[in-house]
Amino acid sequence: MPVLRFTAQRSVLGGAANTAANVASLGGRATLVGAIADDAAGADVRRKCAAAGIHLAAIDDARPTIRKVRVISRQQQLLRIDYEDNVELNARAQPQLVATARELVAGADIVVVSDYAKGLLNKDTFAQIRRAAAAAGKAVVVDPRPSHASFYDGADYLTPNWKEALGLLREDDGEAPSVEAAVRIGHLLRDRFQANVLLTLGSRGMSFFPRDGSATVDMAALAREVFDVSGAGDTVVAAFALAIAGGASPADAVWLANRAAAVVVGKRGTATVTPAELLALEDR
């Protein structure tokens, strides 16, 4: 029976809150809409959002605040314990979520939907948020989950990793992300969802497939020692969306997201990236 000796613990924002934390650490103004309970974990989320400079617009949740505990020994994750209840928000909280999002969209430059399929969003709620963003002239960037594929038709940007991309298309998840396979899957995603697609490919980097059918943008991964990919997708979404919101071209946004990913995978655990770290990486 394994026996571990406790030496230290570290608590960080995760999920959509990690995306918001990366936006803030990169110099953006992040407003986070999510559901947390009146419990110890919820109080911790509130404190950490305040410390990170994130404006938290919290929906009261009858479910416990989601918490994940990773047990790590010598840089290797041995176990993860999830404290969560994935039933949908109750009938009172759903309208509150939509009303809060609608109110805040007008003051935003871009809307990021980090869909973790944890019961926050249903198809109708997502559609209402998308319509509010469209009415305000704001692009929507979706970090998708395959189980919610039917939600995303016509989204402005989709940012799946390789496994998520295959799941969205109900393809065999045993296929490796070769150059040819990545092109095929990227084009299928673009055409299926009528969206701009940023497909992240791990050690192969990432590729951007424009909705208008123009040339694909490919970025090779930067050579870095990889400690942990936990939360790297959140960092990619944050950097990409922040760049688009600031008026960057999709190619420049992909360039920035690729470098942000190179920094964050060199850190242990869920982490954020700063402009100074991006500049230091570029100087090498």
CB 236 within 8 A of CB 220: no
Half-sphere CA count of 235, side-chain side, radius 13 A? 27
Name the band, by pLDDT with cuts 50, 70 and 90, for residue 185.
very high
> The pTM is what?
0.93
Give the span between the Cα atoms of 254 and 236, in whole angstroms.
9
Question: What residue ranges define each of the domains in the chain, with the CATH number in brackets?
Answer: 34-85 (no CATH), 86-282 (3.40.1190.20)
Classify burial at 170, counting beta carbons within 10 Å of its beta carbon; exposed 0-12, middle 13-18, buried 19 or more: exposed
Short-list 170, 176, 121, CA closest to 143? 121
Short-list 237, 222, 245, CA closest to 273? 237
The one-letter amino acid code at 54 reads: I
> Active site residue: 212, 234, 252, 283, which one?
234
pLDDT in tens, 187-240: 999 999 999 999 999 889 999 999 999 999 999 988 566 666 777 899 999 999
Higher pLDDT, 90 or 150: 150
Does the active-site annotation cover 124? no
Has residue 284 got a pLDDT over 60?
A: no
Classify burial at 2, counting beta carbons within 10 Å of its beta carbon; exposed 0-12, middle 13-18, buried 19 or more: exposed
